[in-house]
């Protein structure tokens, strides 16, 4: 079995309290001989002693652990690597561990009862990464759960950190307008099928930002959304070919997300439209896209910042559980690959 303080104490011939203090560097007001301390450390090392943090936690009343709550639906759990990474790093700084939890969330799940996981989950706090399609049942369950919590990537007025999709929409439009574009279209996720519990706020906010900036500049809004129909993925190229072959086709596109890039580029290539000479494009994208060879300018989601910020807020929340914190919105960054260009009048 695992090595304990007691075993070390027995070997050295001192009290466990001495071993505890030495190993935790709490020897300030104690005058242990350097020899003794070294002996204790040596034995601990040799035996491969690992402090039982659970026992520590029981004693101190803190768990030293934060739980990340995800939906069990893969496509509903937003967990890009950079987000996980920054969270983990930020927690590690504070000596906290990261617990990962997925809630069962099949449609029609019975939530008259609290899910088992919320019955035994012990952590100092919760980061709720339950971005969209949150059923009212599960939402209130989480809301009522006793632990302090921060929601991420979800627009709420308090205790929440989220990317500023509205501002990103404004900025995408602004960049294109600055380049002299007037006929700028916004492409929604046209192959997205509406979910029971509503769409992610980024869908409306990105568009809203675009629309706002267009209006401000007296430009006409052009929304490409499949006219209310869902376009199957294998029909996307044809769909964009059709749009881009219109005589009054847009000179610039803003894409809801990077999955739209391949079909759009394919359509453009088919039509002999070259980027950025004949068409400027900006898309929204996750950080991973930069490494995955995205060839289009992008508003990049602040994943890293969101990880850091969520941990910081949660830590604050843990110290003052009753106080609700003002939500924080985080700015996107801009990734320039040269896919946008000044409009040339022809």
Binding site for its own copies (CB under 8 A): 1-2, 48, 50-55, 57-58, 61, 63, 68, 72, 74-75, 77, 79, 81-82, 84-85, 88-89, 92, 95, 97-102, 116-117, 119-122, 146, 191, 233-234, 259, 262, 266, 269-270, 288, 291-293, 295
Residue whose pair of structure tokens reads 């079995």 in the numeric block: 1
- 128 bridge partner residues: 69, 151
Contacts of 342 (CB under 8 A, 6+ apart): 179, 180
Q: By C-beta, is 216 or 292 nearer to its own copies?
A: 292
* Binders of DNA in range 14-73 (CB under 7 A): 14-18, 20-21, 23-24, 26, 29-32, 51-52, 55-56, 58-61
Least Cβ distance, residue 302 to its own copies (angstroms): 16
CA 328-334-336 angle, to 5 degrees, is 170
Please name which of 224, 232, 292 lies closest in space to residue 258, comparing C-alpha atoms.
292
117/273 with CB nearer its own copies:
117
- Rounded to a whole number of angstroms, the minimum distance from the CB of residue 146 to its own copies is 5
Q: Is the dihedral of CA 130, 134, 139, 143 positive or negative?
A: positive
φ, ψ at 128 (rounded to 5°):
-95, 110
Q: Choose the one of DNA, its own copies, none that binds residue 31, judging by a C-beta under 5 to 8 angstroms depending on kind.
A: DNA
Distance of CA 87 to the CA centre of its chain: 9
Angle at 324 between CA 319 and CA 330, to 5 degrees: 100
40 vs 170, beta carbon nearer DNA: 40
Closest-CA residue to 297 (of 270, 332, 271) = 332
Q: Which does 324 bind (CB under 5 to 8 A by kind): DNA, its own copies, none?
A: none
118, 143, 167, 319 from 146: Cα distances, Å: 9, 8, 34, 14
Of residues 40 and 138, the one with the C-beta less far from DNA: 40
Instruction: Pick one of DNA, its own copies, none as the site partner of residue 14 (Cβ within 5 to 8 A by kind).
Output: DNA
3-state secondary structure of 28: coil
**Beta carbon nearer to its own copies, 13 or 293:** 293
Minimum distance between the CB of residue 316 and DNA, rounded to whole angstroms? Answer: 21
Pick the stretch among 8-16, 71-79, 89-97, 103-111 that binds DNA (CB under 7 A). 8-16
Chosen from DNA, its own copies, none, partner binding at 92 (C-beta under 5 to 8 Å by type): its own copies
Is the Cβ of residue 58 or residue 292 nearer to DNA in the bound state?
58
The listed partner (its own copies, DNA, none) that binds 24, CB under 5 to 8 Å by sort, is DNA
Q: Which is nearer to its own copies, 146 or 196 (CB)?
A: 146
Whether 302 contacts 332, CB under 8 Å: yes
The runs of H, that is alpha helices, within the chain are 5-12, 16-23, 34-47, 53-60, 81-93, 117-120, 136-144, 165-178, 201-216, 236-244, 261-271, 288-291, 303-319
Give the total of residues touching DNA (CB under 7 A).
Answer: 27
In the complex, the residues that contact DNA under the rule CB under 7 A are 1-2, 4-6, 14-18, 20-21, 23-24, 26, 29-32, 51-52, 55-56, 58-61
């Amino acid at each position: 079995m695992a090595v304990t303080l007691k075993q070390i104490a027995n070997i050295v011939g001192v009290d466990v309290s001495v071993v505890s203090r030495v190993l935790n560097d709490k020897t300030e007001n104690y005058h242990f001989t350097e020899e003794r301390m070294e002996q204790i450390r040596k034995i601990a090392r040799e035996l491969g002693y690992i402090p039982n943090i659970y026992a520590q936690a029981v004693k101190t009343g803190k768990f030293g652990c934060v739980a990340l709550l995800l939906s069990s639906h893969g496509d509903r759990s937003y967990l890009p690597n950079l987000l996980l990474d920054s969270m983990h790093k930020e927690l590690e700084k504070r000596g906290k561990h990261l617990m990962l939890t997925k809630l069962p969330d099949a449609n029609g799940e019975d939530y008259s009862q609290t899910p088992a996981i919320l019955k035994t989950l012990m952590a100092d706090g919760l980061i709720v990464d339950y971005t969209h399609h949150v059923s009212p049942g599960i939402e209130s369950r989480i809301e009522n759960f006793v632990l302090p919590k921060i929601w991420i990537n979800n627009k709420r007025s308090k205790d929440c950190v989220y990317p500023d999709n509205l501002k990103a929409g404004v900025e995408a439009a602004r960049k294109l307008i600055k380049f002299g574009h007037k006929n700028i279209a916004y492409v929604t996720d046209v192959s997205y099928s509406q979910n029971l519990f509503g769409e992610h706020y980024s869908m409306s906010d990105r568009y809203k930002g675009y629309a706002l900036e267009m209006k401000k500049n007296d430009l006409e809004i052009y929304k490409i959304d499949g006219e209310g129909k869902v376009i199957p993925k294998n029909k996307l190229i044809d769909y964009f070919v059709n749009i881009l072959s219109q005589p009054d086709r847009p000179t610039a596109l803003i894409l809801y997300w990077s999955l739209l890039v391949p079909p759009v580029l394919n359509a453009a290539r088919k039509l002999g439209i070259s980027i950025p000479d004949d068409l400027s494009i900006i898309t929204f994208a996750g950080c991973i896209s930069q490494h995955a060879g995205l060839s289009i300018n992008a508003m990049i989601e602040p994943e890293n910042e969101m990880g850091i910020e969520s941990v910081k807020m949660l830590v604050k929340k843990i110290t003052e559980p009753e106080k609700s914190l003002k939500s924080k919105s985080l700015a996107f960054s801009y990734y320039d690959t040269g896919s946008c260009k000044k409009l040339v009048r022809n």
